[in-house]
Amino acid sequence: MHDSGDYNVAEIAALFNISRLTVYRSLDRTTDLPPLPADTRPAPDIVQYDQLLASASATEARES
């Protein structure tokens, strides 16, 4: 939230009903963490689901 620049410390504290000091402590702890790796998973193959949906639509059309 803070890293994105959308919220400042006071806004985060008010949003979660905590003190600004608590927000600063949390930010200090998270700056020591290594960055998350990039998502390298391949995109899912949705062709099989498109075929299922198309066959379901065709079945419903015949029943109507």
pTM to 2 decimals? 0.47
Which pLDDT does position 44 carry in this prediction? 81
Which pLDDT does position 33 carry in this prediction? 73
Name every residue whose Cβ is closer than 8 Å to that of residue 18 and which is 6 or more positions away in sequence. Answer: none
Which pLDDT does position 64 carry in this prediction? 65
Q: E strand or H helix at 16, and its extent?
A: helix 9-16
Residue 50 scores a pLDDT above 90: no
Among 35, 38, 7, 42, residue whose Cα is nearest residue 23: 7
Name every residue whose Cβ is closer than 8 Å to that of residue 56 and which is 6 or more positions away in sequence. Answer: none
pLDDT in tens, 28-49: 887 777 777 887 888 888 887 8
Structure tokens at 35: 């960055």
3-class SS at 17? Answer: coil
